[in-house]
């Protein structure tokens, strides 16, 4: 099976039908295998439960395979009578943000399994040339499990709302932000990362969102395990979990009504995963994970802007208010109302440019402040020509 060639999902399903052992696993055990594969942490190093040999697959190919296997497991565990492929397509098509950002252009053009392949390709990687090999998958791929949680909810109620995904994204980001704030010795990169998260929360129209505001959104067991694991991962950005972070992790576990052994296992799992796979994860060769996250995110956003500069400039010229606010942002701090206007208008532009669909995905909001920051720097002459004075 070649996860980058047409027909890979059909081949995967055929091969899985010969050995469905992993589908019989208890849900807690399957989730643990998702962690071991790196899927939960956004750094796929193996196929979940070793359903297939890793071969020479890239991390993106491993991610696609694990994503489909996770969806298949949820489909089977819910005893859904719908065809798996059609069910997943209907699920993604039911989410307005996904449909508008990257699914719409695929509909009606391919057979079912081929259509799903197109959706998964867009959902996970969007464009092979856009993401560098060292890019931190925390932004997109570590949040892929939100799709799995949403699919589980979709199968149980035959519907899903964008609100659920936004609430879950907001919850995960707020928990991560709380942990970043607890770090005793913050570098300039940690501070930059905190600002990115804060700005992304404003994008979610949830000013002053706190831990206590979002903890209520976490209800079922999988949501609880996932929130705890992402918190453990966020605490590990400086390659250690200090006393304050440990206290927070214990508080989170208690608030989620998880047993002490579950909390200890989650902390132990992230330590073992990163230490065992340090040679397979480029980010771990860096001095500081937060620094790598910020630096690589910046590089990717700059690349996105450069590759879409002509289209962006054309769209920006049609919005004098947005041009004015972006120019103002280079010398003054925008008010919350102005930031909201910038984000709303930029998202409207982003929706019209397929290559920028990454900003519409869970976690994509974290990149939006960088997008605002780098547009004026990369297009100075154009902004001078269109500058609107007070």
Does 136 have pLDDT greater than 70? no
Q: How confident is the model at residue 357 (pLDDT cuts 50, 70, 90)?
A: confident
3-class SS at 129? coil
Per-residue DSSP letter, 185: S
Q: How confident is the model at residue 389 (pLDDT cuts 50, 70, 90)?
A: very low
Question: Taking the domains of the chain in order of start, what are their residue ranges?
Answer: 162-283
Q: Higher pLDDT residue, 386 or 277?
A: 277
Please tell me whether the overall predicted TM-score, pTM, comes out greater than 0.85 for this model: no
Q: What is the spatial distance between Cα 42 and Cα 142, in angstroms, rounded to a whole number?
A: 4
Contacts for 109-118: CB closer than 8 Å, 24+ residues apart: 112/83, 112/85, 112/86, 113/7, 113/9, 113/10, 113/13, 113/85, 114/6, 114/7, 115/89, 116/9, 116/85, 116/88, 116/89, 117/6, 117/7, 117/8, 117/9
Question: Looking at domain 162-283, which of 1.10.287, 1.10.3680, 2.10.25, 3.40.50 is its CATH number?
Answer: 1.10.3680
- What does the pLDDT look like over 2-28, one tens digit per residue? 898 889 999 999 999 888 889 999 999
Does 199 have pLDDT greater than 80? no
Q: What are the helix and strand counts (H, E) for the chain? A: 19, 0
Q: How confident is the model at residue 322 (pLDDT cuts 50, 70, 90)?
A: confident
Mean pLDDT rounded to a whole number for the chain: 82
Q: How confident is the model at residue 263 (pLDDT cuts 50, 70, 90)?
A: very high
**pLDDT value for 337:** 83
Number of residues that make up the chain: 390
- What does the pLDDT look like over 41-50, one tens digit per residue? 888 899 999 9
Q: What is the spatial distance between Cα 15 and Cα 19, in angstroms, rounded to a whole number?
A: 7
- What does the pLDDT look like over 174-194, one tens digit per residue? 898 888 888 877 777 778 878
């Amino acid at each position: 099976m070649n996860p980058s060639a047409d027909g890979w999902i059909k081949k995967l399903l055929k091969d899985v039908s010969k050995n469905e052992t992993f589908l019989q696993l208890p849900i807690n055990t399957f989730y643990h295998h998702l962690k071991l594969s790196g899927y939960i942490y956004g750094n796929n190093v193996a196929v979940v439960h070793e359903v297939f040999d890793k071969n020479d697959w890239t991390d993106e190919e491993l991610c696609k395979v694990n994503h489909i296997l996770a969806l298949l497991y949820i489909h089977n565990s819910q005893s859904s009578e719908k065809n798996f492929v059609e069910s997943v397509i209907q699920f993604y098509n039911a989410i307005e943000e996904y449909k508008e950002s990257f699914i719409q252009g695929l509909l009606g053009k391919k057979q079912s399994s081929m259509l799903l392949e197109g959706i998964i390709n867009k959902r996970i990687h969007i464009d092979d040339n856009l993401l560098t090999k060292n890019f931190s998958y925390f932004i997109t791929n570590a949040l892929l499990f939100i799709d799995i949680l949403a699919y589980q909810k979709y199968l149980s109620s035959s519907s899903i709302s964008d609100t659920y995904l936004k609430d879950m994204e907001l919850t995960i980001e707020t928990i991560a932000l709380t942990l970043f704030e607890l770090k005793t010795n913050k570098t300039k990169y940690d501070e930059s990362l905190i600002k990115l998260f804060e700005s992304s929360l404003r994008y979610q129209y949830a000013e002053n969102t706190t831990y206590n505001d979002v903890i209520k959104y976490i209800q079922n067991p999988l949501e609880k395990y996932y929130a705890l694991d992402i918190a453990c991962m966020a605490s590990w950005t400086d390659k250690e979990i200090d006393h304050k972070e440990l206290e927070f992790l214990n508080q989170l576990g208690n608030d989620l009504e998880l047993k002490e052994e579950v909390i200890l296992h989650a902390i132990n799992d992230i330590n073992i995963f990163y230490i065992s796979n340090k040679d397979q994860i480029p980010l771990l060769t860096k001095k500081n994970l937060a620094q790598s996250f910020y630096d690589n995110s910046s590089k990717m956003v700059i690349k996105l802007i450069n590759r879409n500069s002509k289209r962006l400039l054309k769209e920006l010229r049609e919005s004098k208010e947005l041009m004015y606010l972006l120019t103002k942002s280079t010398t003054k701090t925008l008010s919350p109302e102005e930031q909201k206007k910038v984000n709303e208008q930029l998202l409207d532009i982003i929706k019209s440019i397929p290559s920028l669909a990454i900003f519409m995905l869970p976690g994509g909001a974290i990149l939006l402040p960088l997008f605002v920051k780098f547009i004026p720097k990369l297009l100075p002459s154009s902004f001078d020509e269109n500058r609107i004075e007070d």
